[in-house]
Amino acid sequence: MKESQQAAVALEDLLSALWHSEFLLRMGLHRTAIVLLADVSMQYGMSHKCRRLIEGIMPQIINGDDLEQRALATFTLAKCIIVAEKAESEYYIWMD
């Protein structure tokens, strides 16, 4: 998606699915869409935003019974933390 310059097309479908899942109260699908949105935003350099997205819904995911959703969310959160810390350390190196 990023390499082919088609991010807007793909994100439009993801955001539409996110809105519909919230509107129809399908919260399991909504949480999965939030995790996918966080993963995509991390690819575009918004690591702090993706971390806040996942940390906001993590209590709901941890208390849920969907093991795959929990695994995807914790894996994505770990990636966000690593990328955010790396970006922050590179920023401080650049400032010196």
Q: Say what the pTM is.
A: 0.76
For residues 87 and 82, the model is more confident at 82
Q: Encoding tokens for residue 39?
A: 């993963």
Give the separation between CA 42 and CA 39, rounded to whole angstroms: 5
Give the separation between CA 49 and CA 19, rounded to whole angstroms: 18
DSSP 6: -
How does pLDDT run across 16-30, given as a tens digit for each residue? Answer: 888 888 888 888 888
Which residue stretches of the chain are H helix?
A: 7-23, 27-43, 47-63, 67-95
